[in-house]
Amino acid sequence: MVLYTSKFLKVNYLELQYLMHFYWTDFAAHMDEEGIYHELLNFLSRRIYKRANQIYVDWRKVEHLILQETIDWFIRYILPKIASHKAYRLAFLLNQPELIILPDKIKVNSREIEAKVFSEPEKLMQWLMDGAERKEPGQDDHDHHHSCHT
């Protein structure tokens, strides 16, 4: 399910895995740092009805714009609004993961979430899916998201 799409950013929600996936497009490579903040705030302004247990942010196309402050801002302002009450994993994908410093655990909405940076999408997905709560097709997820609506 596509939650948001623009020329620069796409946000998908994988219903069965409660996974929110941020993907920067080729056009995003031509933005400046302010464009990243603008797009993420634009996404939030669209009223999100889904919250995620797992968040996957692919920064590769905008990696040249990413500063430690960008990551810190994402964690402080974006993550609490998109993480469910059962959130447990946050993963960033970068070509050069050493560019940012990420704690192993991040406190969000009175819960600790595991956080990691990866350079390989396959390893990232394997880590996210390891022990993931999955919804069976057709299963009512009303209980899961009842208190998570914004």
Specify burial of residue 73 (Cβ count, 10 A radius: 0-12, 13-18, 19+): middle
**pLDDT tens digit string along 44-66?**
998 778 889 999 999 999 999 99
Going 40 to 64 to 92 to 137, the CA torsion angle's sign is positive
Q: What pLDDT does residue 131 have?
A: 64
Sites in the chain below the pLDDT cut of 50: 139-150
- Are 31 and 66 a contacting pair, CB within 8 Å? no
